[in-house]
Chain A
Amino acid sequence: MSLFIYLVLIFIASILFLKRKQIVFLFKKIKNEDDKILQEDILKNIYQLQKQNTICKTETISTRLNEDKVKVQNSINKLQKLNFVNTVDEEIHLTESGKTYALKIIRFHRLYEKFLADKTNLNEKTWHKVADEIEHKLNQEDAEKIAAQIGNPVYDPHGDPIPSSSGELPEKIGISLSEMKHNEISVVLHIEDEPHNIYENIVNKGIYKGIQIRFLGIFNNEVSFYANEKLCSLSLDEANNIQVGIPKLEKIHLGEFKKLSSLSVGEKGKIIGIAKSLRGQQRRRIMDLGIVPGTIIEAELESISGDPVAYRVRGTTIALRKNQAEKIYIEKI
């Protein structure tokens, strides 16, 4: 008996002890990490500014980061000592090692966003924020483990290429959505996730990476187009934050986009595509089961409440929930 109590006590004590240790640990970390986060953010920002060929000074960075100028200057001085940046006439430039470091942080950020998209249920609007924090906490080893776990992705969920672990990064491709021509058909390649409010507006309109666009035109500063053949319009600012193009392995579909969920029992359709918003394991499992473009599919059985519905695919019966069937496009036959 006493053994039981004893064990329970030890157990509780060890939990408390562990917690305590962790708390102390956290305190220490935050103290000396404060500066690390700022330094890394500065490197990242200089990299981005240089990419846009913008001249980069202390003020530019401090306004971009919304941080005190003195503090920023302090950190830049430290970075200079570490030989990550050099300053010529107040203009700050990344050194080779500074660029490598910046690319590393960008890699962590985009990797983590991809991880969140594929392996968690977090809302797409929070990916960026979470990744912004995690990018400073990851070490090389953990990052590579995450990468391996999600199949070493080369694009993040917004369509930005992820720098390779050796620091290679391709040029961005595609044109801005607002530059498209009347009746041109293209595919959304990239949605800029900053500033956040614009990104949110785009997401709220149901636009996602991989959706097919048929362009109509710009009327009164409103950009009009069909997204998967559904009429849609965005402001110019929003449209400028979307890049479109046709990836090499893309199949363009001309004609109507009907949802699988619109089939009633006994009706048949032919699958034309699966929305890219069906991601990760979920997407792969559905395709593994034979739900791929070109497949004939028949609604066979409705469950008692009407959701899920069982479909006949390639000689098998697969039940899908409504929220999945809504992301599978078909044409009726």
Chain B
Amino acid sequence: MDSKSNREKIISEANRLRWELGENLYDTLMETIYNNASEIANKAVTYSDKKSPFSFDRTLDKILTSKYFGIPIMLMMLAFVFWLTIVGANYPSSILASFLIDFLHPELKNIFLSFNIPNWLVGLLIDGGYLSCAWVVSVMLPPMAIFFPLFTLLEDFGYLPRVAFNLDAIYKKAGAHGKQALTMAMGFGCNAAGIISTRIIDSPRERLIAIITNNFSLCNGRWPTQILIATVFIGSLVPAYLAGFISALAVIFIAVLGIIMSFIVSWALTKTLLKGEISAFSLELPPYRPPRILQTLYTSLIDRTIFVLWRAIVFSFPAGLVIWLISNITIDGISLANHFINFFNPVALIFGLNGVIFLAYIIAIPANELVLPTILMLTVSHLGLNDFGAGSGVLFELESIEDTAKIFQAGGWTLLTGINLMLFSLLHNPCSTTIFTIYKETKSWKWTLVSTFLPIILGLLVTFIVTKIYYLVH
């Protein structure tokens, strides 16, 4: 009893003293601590008088943040990283694909069938689940295994904070933090990884902005869709010798559009939803440190490999099951998939898309990599084209661009469908891993929902407008 009043007295006495001392306590305390700290440091530290410390860093900083070289150097580094990722990933990707899909897939099927497992179950597990996992792994793993270690090397060296420093002025205009440049760059590899990397932003508002807009970085899983569609629809508009260049330009345009969108959305968010959120800025420029190349390669390779494999199994396996099921379960002799496609075709036309695309995007929520093969497979089975593909509900990719173009033609695709698919591929909901990551990082349903639905709404809006304009012109 007595003890209780004693304790309360401590608290109320402290309160009284706080009123008396006023509000400079923290300032006084920090001043005290730093006074002590510099006193001690002065006694213990000596500087060599031959050279001033960090003169190398200062020189390097002067170059990397200079008015003339800063931005070009940054762009060159970025271009190099992307070039290496795209070019370097081709070869391992095709090896993985030919092993996992061309070789292992029929083998597995045979093994299962030889055990007298019913046909439909083998179809479901192998043609459905396994194949979609194999897809995700062979499309996604190689570029990630190149992109992330490169990025980590730059990070280890200490270059990334300088990029944030250089670009902060632009981001500040949009109400964001310069470090968002890096989380977005990370998002080009994988949005989920990009969202985790927003932890480096220590101001709550700017961090939320970075999380919500990360999806506007065209992730690795979406590049294949962009490249193929651009080649088929945009490249074919110009003479053959220009086709490659123009379609590449179209893809870059979409990526840049994503960056522009992220600025617009960031800016709009600070003016609306995030109006009252607190913002703070601090950016330390750490000293440059020579990176440990081998260890970095090893760590980020292993880290990402496990991440991707896990994701492939947890998320794309069920998607594969669903694809197989809806193409093989029939009502009134028509598969579920076709029911859906027929039903949604009229709605989709308003947005210059079609029912197949809608369905593919719903099925491919777990992984963007699945969009393209799902679209091809659904188109083929919807039209009942028998000389393509490998049976209903089985994912495939065609060997040649001409074959692909033929399928699209048969499916009634036009230039508008192609353009709008590219736009919609940029502006749609994040994949389920990313949504899950957003929830984990924000611990808020509200922000998870906003990040999920905002891009869809934007996507539908943009495709709607493009459709209107297209019909005006044609």
Residues of chain A whose beta carbon lies under 8 Å from any beta carbon of chain B: 1-5, 116, 118-122, 154-155, 161, 164, 166, 168, 170, 189, 210, 247-250, 274, 276, 280-282, 284-290, 292-295, 300-308, 310, 314-321, 324
A120-B278, A250-B24 are contacts. A319–B18 as well, Cβ < 8 Å?
A: no
Q: Are B169 and A305 in contact (CB under 8 A)?
A: yes
How far, in angstroms, from A298 to B262 measured CA to CA in the complex? Answer: 35
How far, in angstroms, from A281 to B280 measured CA to CA in the complex? Answer: 7
Interface membership of B298, Cβ < 8 A: no
Chain B interface category by residue count: 35 or more
Q: Are B284 and A249 in contact (CB under 8 A)?
A: no
**Nearest Cβ distance between residue B328 and chain A, in whole angstroms?**
11
CB-nearest residue of chain B to A279 = B278
CB-nearest residue of chain B to A159 = B23
- Which of A118, A119, A303 has the most chain B CB within a 10 Å cutoff? A303
Q: Are A284 and B168 in contact (CB under 8 A)?
A: no
Q: Are B38 and A1 in contact (CB under 8 A)?
A: no
**Nearest Cβ distance between residue B306 and chain A, in whole angstroms?**
28
Across the interface, A304 reaches (CB within 8 A) one of B15, B71, B278, namely B71
Interface membership of B174, Cβ < 8 A: no
Q: Are A300 and B24 in contact (CB under 8 A)?
A: no
Q: A210-B23, A250-B24, A319-B168 are in contact. List 8 more A-B contacts (CB 8 A).
A: A118-B278, A166-B12, A282-B279, A285-B280, A287-B30, A306-B169, A308-B168, A316-B284
A170-B19, A303-B166 are contacts. A280–B278 as well, Cβ < 8 Å?
A: yes
A303-B168, A318-B282 are contacts. A170–B16 as well, Cβ < 8 Å?
A: yes
A164-B12, A247-B23, A289-B284 are contacts. A300–B275 as well, Cβ < 8 Å?
A: no
What residues on A are CB-neighbors of B4 within 8 Å? none
How far, in angstroms, from A249 to B277 measured CA to CA in the complex? Answer: 31
Query: 0/1 per residue, B255-295, Cβ < 8 Å to A?
Result: 00000000000000000000111111111111000000000
Interface membership of B181, Cβ < 8 A: no
**Nearest Cβ distance between residue B169 and chain A, in whole angstroms?**
4
What residues on B are CB-neighbors of A274 within 8 Å? 27
CB-nearest residue of chain B to A288 = B30
Interface membership of B5, Cβ < 8 A: no
Across the interface, B34 reaches (CB within 8 A) one of A248, A292, A307, namely A292
Q: Are A168 and B276 in contact (CB under 8 A)?
A: no
What residues on A are CB-neighbors of B71 within 8 Å? 304
Across the interface, B284 reaches (CB within 8 A) one of A118, A210, A280, A317, namely A317
Query: 0/1 per residue, B151-178, Cβ < 8 Å to A?
Result: 0000000000000011011001000001
Q: Are B340 and A1 in contact (CB under 8 A)?
A: yes
Across the interface, B28 reaches (CB within 8 A) one of A168, A249, A302, namely A249
What residues on B are CB-neighbors of A247 within 8 Å? 21-24
How far, in angstroms, from A317 to B71 measured CA to CA in the complex? Answer: 21
Q: Are A308 and B283 in contact (CB under 8 A)?
A: yes
Q: Are B15 and A154 in contact (CB under 8 A)?
A: yes
How far, in angstroms, from A311 to B52 measured CA to CA in the complex? Answer: 16
Pairs across A and B, CB under 8 Å, 15 listed: A1-B325, A3-B322, A154-B15, A166-B12, A210-B23, A247-B23, A249-B28, A250-B22, A289-B282, A300-B58, A303-B165, A303-B169, A304-B67, A308-B283, A317-B286
Within 8 A of A (CB), among B170-212: 172, 178, 202-203, 205
